[in-house]
Structures are given as C-alpha cells and as structure tokens.
A and B are shown apart, each in its own frame.
Chain A
C-alpha cells in the first residue's frame, strides 16, 4: 500500500522536471498542448517518464497540465491517457507516486475578469473527477499566479477527492504573484485550507528560489516544494534556451535541500540530467522534516497580518449597530457608504476590518457576500467576518479571497459545532469568546477554563490552536467595579499560556461620561498585559494615540517611522477652505467637500426643498448647459455631478422619506460580455445628481437579470451600455428579451460603438449620445408619464 504522507514525514522526495520542450523534440507539433502527446504518441511520454525515474524522481507529474473542459472538449480522454502513461512507467512500485497535474485555467476570475469563482471550482472538479480511480496518488496544483484561483483549485480537490494536495505558486523576482500575493499570504491561505505541501515553481532558476525560500522556512509548518526553471530563458543562436546546466542547478538544489526543503524537482528547461545530478548531489544531505510554527496569520490576496507579535488594530466601523445612516444604506442595498468606511479605516491605521451587516429585515448572507466582494475590490486589508449566523459566516468564508478572521464562537458546544467545521474546511482565525450557556464567568480563572475548552474543541475539529484568538470580554465598569481587573488578569493568564487575544475595548466605559478617556487608559493597560489585537474605532484619536505610542514605546516601530507617519497624518487634517464660495459655485467647480459643507450651512436657515430647487438644481442645469454647448468637458461635468450628489446626500438626511420618488428611476447595465463600465457609471452619477433613483446592475449583465430587476423594482426605464462592436449583438438580444417579457418598458442605449441609426436597427427606444442626454431622456420619459 502506497503511503505518501509517511514518505513525506521521513525522507526527501524528488519530483521530475520539464516536459514541454523535450516532448517537442520528440515530435510534438508546434502549437499543440503538450498534454495531447499522451494520445498522439504515448510511448514518447512513457519513455520520458522512465528517464526521470532513472534519474531518481519519485513523484511523476502526469501529463495533464493546461487542459480543462473549456479548452479541450476531450479533456477526460487526455487525462485518462496521461495517467495510463504514468502508470506504465511506474509499474507496481510502491515507492513511486503519480501526481494529477493541474494548472491555471488561463482565465481571470471575477471581479477582475469574467470567470465566476464557482465556475473555476467546477472546471478543476471536472478534471479531478475524470482522474478518479486512474491511479493518481496526489493532486499537484502548480504554476498558480492568482490567490483566488489557487483557492478554487484546492477547494475542488478537497471536495472531490481524498488524495493529498500539493500546491506551488509562480512568483516573480520581487516575490509577488502576478496578482500581487506574497509567500506569507499563500502560506496563510494554503495552510488554512489544509493542503499537504506548498512551495514555488517555474518563473526563474533555483538561485531565485533560494532568495525567496526564507519566508517559507520561517513561517510554514508544511513540507516545502521547490521546482524551479533551469534559469531564465535566454536567446542563443536564435533559440530560446535555459541558461543553467545540470551542474549549477544541482549546486543550488543541494543548498536548498540543506536548508530544509523536502520536495525538489524542476520546471521549464530542466531535463533528466538536471534531476539526476541534483539527486546525486543531495544523497548525503540528511533530511530534516518540517516543524510546526506557532504563528497566527490572517490574510488577504496580497499580504498576511500576523497576530501575536506587535499589536494589531481591527477597525470596528462596518457595523450598523448605532449607525442610522449605514442602516438606511444597507436596507436600500447601497453598499457605497460601507466601502468608504472600509477605505477610511485603512487610512487611519486599521490592519484588519471587522464586517458586520446584520439587520433583522435583511438577507444577511447575500448582503455579507456582496460586502466581502466589494470591500475586497477597494482594499486589500484582511477582513474579520462578523455574524451570529453560522450560515452567513460559511458563505462568506467560501468566497473570501484569503484567510479571514471569524467573529465569533463561544464556549457553548452548539456554537462550536456550528462554526468550526467550516473553519476547518476554508481556513480562518476564529475569535473565541470566554462565555458559554451559563454566561460570562465572574473570575479570570473561570474565563480561562472556557478558553481552554474552546482550544481543545477546536483541536478536536482539526483546527490548530494557533488559529484561535481568545476574547476575555470586558463588562461595563458602571455595573461591575472590578470588570477591568478581571479582564486584565484573564489577558495575563492567557498570555502566559501563549494564547493570542482580542478585545473590544469600548464596552468598559458603557454608561459613563467622557468614555474615550476611560477607553484609552484601559486600552493601554490591556496592551501592557499582552493583548494581541483590539477591535476599536480607528477614527478615535484617543485610541490611535495609545496604539501608535505603545508600539514605539515597546520598541516595535523601527526608526519610530510608524509613529512619525501617524503624527504627520494627524497634522494634515484638512481644514474647510476659508475661501468665500457659494454652494452654486462649489457645484459648478466640482468641489465636493465644500458643496457638502455649504449645504449644511444653508440647511440651518433654509427649507431642504428650497435648497434643492433654488441652489442645487440651477447650478446643475448651468453645468449641463455648458456641457451641451461644449463649453465644459466630460470630467468637469462629472465632478460637478459628484459635488451635487454630495449636496443632495446632505439634504436627503433632512427630508422626510419621499414616497412618490420610487417610480422615478432608471435601471442601468453594461450588456453581457462587455466589461466596460465607465460610461454607465457616469450616467449613474448624473442621474443621481438630478434626483433619480438608479438601479445599477453592473457590467457583463445577462438579459435575465435585467428582466428580473425590472419586475422587482417596477422601474420601466432601462439604460444599456456597450463599448465593443462585438457586444452589440448582446445588446440587441437584451432589448428583444426586455420588450417581450416586460411590456411597457422603454430601453435607452448608449456607448462608443453606437449611433442613432444603429440604435434604431437593434430596436432601442431611445439613443443617448452622452450622459447629459440620458438625463434629458429620463426627464422626458417621466414628464410624459405624468401627463398621460
């Protein structure tokens, strides 16, 4: 019986090397995927496998790289052929292993590209199912250059197979993946997902990998894989060659083996000679199995944040509790405020953002999923998913790009059983609250006992205790005089046991005046007791003062740079401009902040409706006229609209909710297949600045979704945008579907490739050459509707 995991724990294993170039030399036609060779000339593939086995390779990568259902309709036949070749070479040897080889899909995942995450998972899943029962001993996911795609592949492997999973990523010389991830972020993600070995392949030679291996050796607990190219591609006599020969290659590989890399092999340009030389040179180097590292990592798609060293600030602002504006925005499905809060907290120093969108009347799972996707589009700060619903947490964990923090579980066994299985599957760092079905213990020892129980349970579910962060909780001092002391003592006890901690600071002052003063002092005391991370308001200067000062005092701020940058930033707070400018002028010149501030001033002495009718609308009309007369340009129009929208925002806060407005709206979408959205977004801003309600469905939108939106909102005016000639047919189809299924709907179209004639030909009701024109169409549409 083959036992790869046992072999991994006890000896160094060699992968094989490159195949593509060698198969071409053996007659693979140019332009044909190397994977096809298993069908075209299986003997060639088998002989190359055998050459690698003779060189000393113990793991053969089956010739299955770079194919899937979308690229090769006969992918299953190819996979079957490839594994047949590998089995023929391996025979019945128990000490040799076959890897099912999976690579990138060649497509970019949403939101940067158009491939949906679950579609990527299903592409990989199909390959894995096609290989079932055909003799693969492990799944190798390699040359991955995107964090989210790597996660999709690993999930597919875990959901469709019990085989060990190895993952290697392709970094560039600066140590980053094509989409920005660094080694630490991949270590966090992949160890969280429970893979069996990780490392690097392709990109450059073994010398480059020697430079990057340090982070892996220091921070990963898994067996490490290094499969480099034979150097960078060079041009010699008009041919692409790889510069590093077997001798130089094996010297470098020997150094990597001596440093503790247990799985070695080659990628592009390496040959059986490279592997043979390296196997020989490393034979005498003793094998050192990997050691568990007691490191807690939370990550995004670019970087990881380490908990347990220097304290970490978690921003608490994305939470509707006590924030009427955010509540209102969430209820109306508008996530823009939430995104701004995210970006501003990051700027204020938050390294992780807590995300809570729980409102009783809201579909929390859907809102949370949207919030996570959009937040990850505007910031690379790792997120802390915060919900009392295990289902909400699980859905967000699945699509989160990285290894999230999860808030929270308690010592109650039901809570643990509901949340921990998903954490085991997707990876994450979990906040464990020191409370259970009996409540919060009054003593530090009582809270410690619950903490220990949470850790033990987590281990029982297969989660390493380093991924649990304990919240010792703090109760209001006003009702419990020794509350702070109990919490601080619990923190001390937890730190003595090497357990990471987190604390929501502000509870302590509940019911007392001048809360920030108490919060700040308590925060400083908690930090002194070894608090790992704090959930707080990054806009509270009292708190951030303590945070940045503490880091520098503890000697954790090299050259006091963080502190200096912090104080610089505080001094930079922009004062409102002293310049005398009217609200109308602010809108005309596109000065957003001033427009908002001046609106507030007018509102203190003027009726809200009068501010709209007498100031905002006339200014907007003026800009619109200038644009139509070509006296101002598109960016200027847009800036004015932005400023007017900011002014509107302020007025709206004072207005009773307008009821008749619901009908005055427009649905906007960029049609299926088109990813351009600038034009559509400009139209949105302009419509909003004129007070229309806009239902923006985004880009690459199917006719079905537009119909559904029309039916759901009751909105009968629809705007479609397309920028490419190739997506005009999609626009035509959408219009036809809308006219058929939503009688009474009118469709306006715009976009660089259209003109009035083309718009008429594809059945549009209105053609809008520019954004201003769309506003006019909407005005006429609703004026007509009122008359009728």
Chain B
C-alpha cells in the first residue's frame, strides 16, 4: 500500500539561507555588495515567493524501480525506504526573475542567487522535519552524481507535484517553477 502524501507550506520567516550557501550562490561575500541593493532583491523575493512542499515515504524496490543500481548500492546503501520530496518557491519568483532579467542584469544575478539559497533553505527545513526522530542519510537530487535527471518525471508523479505544487517539466526535464528542488532522502533501517 502506498504511504500518504505529506503536504505543507513554509512561511517567508521559516526560510533562512545559510551564510555559506548565500555566499556561494551570489559568487561574492554579501558584505562586499551594497546593502540596499541586496535588501531590495531579497525583499522582492520574499514578497513574491509562495513556498510549498510535498513528500512521501516510498519503498525503493516497489515504487522507485528505476533507481540506478550503483546509486542504490552507494548513496542509499542499506536503505529499503526513503523519503521523496519536492519543494518549490512558486511561479511568482520566476515572474520576478524574468522581470529582472529584462531590466537589470545585476539584480537578476543577485536575486537568482538569493532565490537558489532560499530554495535550498526550504529543502533543508523540510528535510529536518521529515528526518526528525529517524536516522536519515544526506539527501540527493536528480542531475547530480549518480542520480540521473531522467528520474525527475517519476519523482514528481509520486508526489502529484503537478497538481499539488504546480511543478511541470520542460522537454529537457527542467522544472518550472525554476526554483524547485526534488530530492531523495534515504531512511536507515533501525535494528
């Protein structure tokens, strides 16, 4: 029997990017940039975002048979179950970024970086909630390492992400809204 779909939203206040993440995404120490400019970008983003998430506990063998064997044997070693999760900052953020891309390349670069850091923060928050009381492995996302991007459609469909989160895929498997993350979080068996 399939486990229930867990759904939720995160408020603006619940999203706090890690300083190192922010620095990496901005490609610059935040302190080197004009504070008013950064504040304007971050304020506009927080105004535009509508952060939702979905997660489901799955049985790897039954519900994710397409997982590459080396990934199962490696990053998910010893796991029979995992959480599949998706978070998104919503279409409002994409509209804001599209707008900035036409108006100011500096603000576009900064807002895109901050948005990525916010999405990562959202994913971290959901990860923490799911793994509370469990022993979970670090999360992995399709498109990185041994986890191919071609897994994206099945992850999203396990989460009914089209309807629940408004996430759709392009023909090259890019997610829209662009500031969305899917991930697999292995659950360690307790003996």
Contact = CB atoms under 8 A, between A and B. Distances in A.
A682 interface: yes
B20 interface: no
A638 B109 CA distance: 9
A429 to B, nearest CB: 24
Given A108-B176, A178-B91, A726 B149 contact: yes
A260 B157 CA distance: 37
Contacts of A681: 101, 105, 108
B143 interface: yes
B172 A726 contact: yes
B120 interface: no
Interface stretch (A110-118, A123-131, A322-330): A110-118
Interface in B147-191: 149, 157, 162-163, 166, 168-174, 176-178
B99 interface: yes
B55 to A, nearest CB: 12
A678 B176 contact: no
Contacts of A724: 143, 149, 172, 174
Contact of A240 (B4, B143, B176): B4
A636 B28 CA distance: 8
A344 B59 CA distance: 54
Contacts of A677: 101
A113 B4 contact: no
Main secondary structure of the interface of B (DSSP, over half): mixed
B160 to A, nearest CB: 9
Contacts of A31: 157
A113 B168 contact: yes
A145 B173 CA distance: 20
B96 to A, nearest CB: 10
Contacts of B105: 638, 642, 678, 681-682, 684-685
B3 interface: yes
A111 B95 CA distance: 9
B179 to A, nearest CB: 12
Interface in A98-116: 104, 106-108, 111-115
Interface string A333-377: 000100110010000000000000000000000000000001001
A769 B112 CA distance: 20
A682 B109 contact: yes
A590 interface: yes
B168 A106 contact: yes
Contacts of A674: 172, 174
Nearest to A379: B99
A31 B153 CA distance: 12
A634 B2 contact: no
Interface string B17-35: 0000000001111001110
A727 B103 contact: no
B94 interface: yes
B102 to A, nearest CB: 5
Given A633-B27, A724-B172, A238 B109 contact: no
B172 A180 contact: no
A439 interface: no
Contacts of A239: 1, 4
Given A633-B27, A635-B109, A374 B102 contact: yes
B72 interface: no
B108 A104 contact: no
Given A113-B168, A377-B102, A678 B163 contact: no
B106 A638 contact: yes
B168 A675 contact: no
Nearest to A339: B102
Interface string B82-121: 0000000011101100110111111011101000000000
B33 A636 contact: yes
Contacts of A632: 32
Contacts of A104: 162
Contacts of B6: 235
A108 to B, nearest CB: 4
Contacts of A379: 99
B154 to A, nearest CB: 9
B7 interface: yes
A370 B26 CA distance: 31
A675 B178 contact: yes
Contacts of A336: 102
Given A673-B171, A724-B143, A378 B32 contact: no
A520 to B, nearest CB: 31
Given A377-B99, A380-B95, A633-B27, 10 more contacts: A179-B166, A238-B1, A240-B4, A378-B103, A634-B109, A635-B110, A677-B101, A684-B105, A724-B172, A724-B174
8 contacts: A107-B168, A108-B176, A113-B170, A145-B166, A377-B102, A634-B28, A636-B32, A726-B173
Interface of B: 1-7, 26-29, 32-34, 90-92, 94-95, 98-99, 101-106, 108-110, 112, 143, 149, 157, 162-163, 166, 168-174, 176-178
Q: Closest 10 A-B residue pairs measured CB to CB?
A: A633-B28, A673-B172, A178-B166, A108-B176, A114-B170, A113-B176, A235-B4, A634-B27, A378-B99, A179-B91
